Amino acid sequence: MTVLRTTPDPEALTFTIVAEFAAPPAAVWELWADPRKLERWWGPPTWPARFAEHDLVVGGRSHYVMTGPDGGQAHGWWLVTAVDAPRSLEFEDGFAREDGSPDDSLPTTTARVVVEDTGGSSRMTVVSRFASAEQMQQLAGMGMEEGMRLAMGQMDDLLVAA
């Protein structure tokens, strides 16, 4: 399995997920950079994503919608705050309305993605940071940990196919 561990840290207000891949960092990076590849793993298998907008530059925005098995939809947005391809990416991540505008009634997190060369393979670490313990608990209750683990578990197959 790709995902090695998931670590919620309520004191630091972070959730960390670490995964390893039998692929070079550039290939793992492409799974973040290419919206057609990103939508093949962003979201759990039963909630596939479609990116209507994805601009992976500082100040760039992304808007996506995930569609559940019952047809229900969840919209999300990113605001990219740092990019060092193919090594790291930082972005604000939140829920959105249908038009892609932020839905301020739900929590926003910040995410930092680091992709490291481990000598013929890659290690990816994603740290999500929360504004408060309440927001962390709310997103955990919505299935964030399981959802991210399942979503990232799809990356291996995409790297093999590349």
| pLDDT tens across the length of the chain (162 residues) | 488 999 999 999 999 999 999 999 999 999 999 999 999 999 889 999 999 999 999 999 999 999 999 999 999 999 999 999 999 999 999 999 988 889 998 899 999 999 999 998 999 999 999 999 999 999 999 888 888 889 999 999 999 866
Determine contact, residues 96/103, Cβ cutoff 8 Å: yes
pTM, two decimal places? 0.92
Determine contact, residues 63/77, Cβ cutoff 8 Å: yes
Q: Which residue type is seen at 131?
A: A
The domain ranges of the chain are 3-161
Helix (H, G, I), strand (E, B) or coil at 48: coil
Please give the CATH number for the structural domain made up of 3-161: 3.30.530.20
